[in-house]
Amino acid sequence: MNNPVTSSPITSLPEDVAVDILARVPRCDYPRMSLVSKRFRSLVSSPEIYVRRSSLGCTEHCLYVVLYEWDGGVDRLYTLCWKDKDKGLVLIHGLPDMPRDRSFVAVGLRIYVFCEINSFSIDCTSHTVQHLPRLPVPMSDTVADVIDRRIYVIGYISSKSKAMVVFDTETQTWATKPGMELFDDVYADFQDNFVYDPKESKWETDEMLNSNFWGGNVCVVDDVLYFYDDFCDQELRAYDPERKCLGLVKGLDDLFAEMRCVGCGWAKIASYGGKLVLLFSKGREICCVEISLERRKGSQILGRVDQWSDHALIAGIFSLRNL
């Protein structure tokens, strides 16, 4: 006589009940949960679960990180989990390897990836890929950012000249506007920094920005530009474009002293729900630090370490590509 087939209690729950339960689970656990079964994968990527999360007040900010895995020679996408017992970076399964010559920008629940050959977007609810129209002109070494759900992409169109194009995320189309070509006779000096006004299609220089070398380790939080200098002083600086003032973020001396003590190999900062996240390497480990920011009277900004993970990712040698 054959034994009857039994099923897990949660798999037999009505869909609305299962959605209500899964909506209360931290978002960083969804990549693992999607591997449990086809039903779980469908539920955690459904619009209903995100509507329910919003009504329950369970919405979360998610940080995605691209790491180069030296063992496999590929760039892969991870997400950061801040759970008390399971802090760390979680690999997103089922995605193609990230292209080398590309730029990233997040808009809503999608990550847009722009490269010279094939651009695409990643749905962060289902971790599926949708191909985008090609760039209007072939561009290399691109950088991208978003203003009002429009993505501005700047890159080289020749060895000396740059151009900028705009991708409308609502219509999923490319557009160009007057003033978007950046000719080499103006932009040959890479030490110069420029500010672009999308309403006026106008470029301007900023003397305060040009008086300092910013490199590429920058991010914006609440309209303030932050720069982490990991080459010389290991300091976090903040620039307020409205007040035209530049200063050091105070309160992080112990953090930077610890980083110098362990001899971190590289470091990178990113904006994360009104806070900063700092990732740095320590031997074969990647560490994550969450930093809250407080703007005081005048131009002073105070930083405070809220969370720290010494073992965000272990076993393997990684280089950080993008946040």
Would you tell me how many other CB atoms lie within 10 Å of the CB of residue 253? 10
pLDDT at 5: 44
pLDDT at 184: 39
How would residue 99 be classed by pLDDT, with cut points 50, 70 and 90?
A: confident
Contact between 197 and 204 under an 8 Å Cβ cutoff? The reply is yes
pLDDT at 91: 83
186-231: per-residue pLDDT in tens?
333 334 566 666 666 666 666 666 656 666 688 888 888 898 877 6
Whole-number average pLDDT of the chain: 77
Q: Which residues of 72-106 are buried (b: 16+ CB within 10 A; e: fewer)?
A: eeebbbbbbbbeeeebbbbebeeeeebeeebbbbb
138-190: per-residue pLDDT in tens?
888 888 888 888 898 888 887 777 788 889 999 999 876 544 554 433 333 33
Contact between 68 and 148 under an 8 Å Cβ cutoff? The reply is no
pLDDT at 1: 46
* Mean per-residue pLDDT, 283-302: 84
Q: Check residues 309 and 1 and name the one with the higher pLDDT.
A: 309
pLDDT score of 130 more than 50: yes
The CATH class given to the 99-205 domain equals: mainly beta
pLDDT at 177: 54
pLDDT at 131: 92
Dist CA 228 CA 234 (whole Å): 7
What backbone phi and psi angles, to 5 degrees, belong to 297? Answer: -60, 145
38-89: per-residue pLDDT in tens?
888 888 878 888 888 888 887 777 788 888 777 777 888 888 877 655 667 8
In the chain, where are the structural domains located? Answer: 13-56, 63-94+212-323, 99-205
pLDDT score of 291 more than 90: yes
Would you tell me how many other CB atoms lie within 10 Å of the CB of residue 34? 20
Contact between 209 and 170 under an 8 Å Cβ cutoff? The reply is no
